Structure 1
Amino acid sequence: MLQIDLNQLPSTDELPCSDDTPVDNEDQNLLPNLLLFLLCSIWSERMDWYFGVDMAIYHTTGINPRVPVVPDAFLSLGVERKKGGKSRKSYAVWEEEGTVPILALEMVSHQPGGEYEAKQSLYANLGVLYYIIYNPEFWQRDRHQPFEVYKLVNGSYKLQIGEPYWMPEVGLGIGRSEQVMGGIKQELLAWYDSQGDRYLSDDERAEAERQRADDAQQHVEKLLARLRSEGISEEDLS
């Protein structure tokens, strides 16, 4: 077992923020960031969480604490939104009072990146409770499902059943959803509540409010038109 002197560990100021591995499709940037933006709305009053996108996680459970793992996204609970009031350059477990991310997300690329083997083992050793693999295009090639949630049970990941999948330790569910983005209908990842209802974005909530207001106005106009047809004027009503 690797022996680590915690006093000799580097700071995040000394470490690269990522591994500079380019993504091979736009969704690898888009989908994790949509989850982040939505979480900023859902948990806007909470200051005890951090969601990283394409950010290096440095830890002491691998071959070297200077060698990070870089998920497409991860979530940590019980940490500062802004560490010391500043944005993080990377996430070093030893600078977060030993707090390991509770969730990691990997999106499978055209070139397999060990999501089902090496990375799964790495996240298990690190102690990440939930490991999510999103593989909408190459799941048949890899002989897996397009969306899989694994939970760490007695040191090993067990595939979970159900979608959206509710994570009580996180207080959120996660799953896929058909949505319209920029006028294009596509499959996205989304957060869900305990009832299985998808959390709406700020734009979606605003549109829903506008639609409710329009529906209410149309209802009033139809009611007034019916009353007028029956010989009752608005002055009579007032």
Structure 2
Amino acid sequence: MMVSLFDLKDRVAVVTGGTRGIGKAIAIGLAESGANIALLQRSDNAETKREIEKLGVTCEIFQCDLHDLDRVRNVLPEVLEKLGAVDILVNNAGIQRRHPAVEFPESDWDEVLKVNLKAVWILCQEAGKIMTDQKKGKIINIASLVSYQGGIFVPAYTAAKGAVGQLTKALANEWSSLGVNVNAIVPGYIATEMNTALIDDPVRSRQILERIPAGRWGDPEDFKGAAIYLASAASDYVHGHLLAVDGGWLGR
């Protein structure tokens, strides 16, 4: 049956940045399709956990600050031990720093690249060890429109997200034949906390909205379907793809 292609019952999905925004919506969406959820988060905020548990699946929080790369390297074995599997990894968490390029502090550059790229790479690598051994798995990275475009005042974010797109393709090339799908979702302009500065800027907000063919900013709920697709059997022959969820922005 077609519906079974999207069934995630008894799968274990690891999600970073699931306390709010896109990550929270994705975690809940995967749970709605039957997956048990491991939330990697630096806080003890249990709001997402409570919402997921109401769906009748298991949800566990694993303390993991992505600035702490030693912790990042060692968290997935804990998930495996406690929940019995690591079937899906969603690398969603990220940070943003905005400065003109000539003023961009080196400390901000290093922080953005550490969280948005190096932590993603480490989690992919550690998940890859598990998934290539078991000959199955789904890795979903969250890229960005700046994986294609340059952005303004966000050189570190652009560098990191551009690299995430290429990393996704590189890992897909290596792991596709081993039963592991590595793909990415490319969010457009989404009404989340990360974009508050743009939303609050009347000129930039108007300019952005005028270019989106869908006629609205995106909502975190718009990512459930894309995530379920890339996490499920429906995408078993999809490898190294960057799936834009952008209201048509890139086609404009």
- TM-score normalised by the shorter chain: which range applies? 0.3 to 0.5
Could you tell me the TM-score, scaled by structure 2's length?
0.35
User: Higher relative CO (CA 8 A, sep ≥ 6), structure 1 or 2?
Assistant: 2
Larger Rg: 1
- Which structure has more strand as a fraction of its residues? 1
| Greater helix content | 2
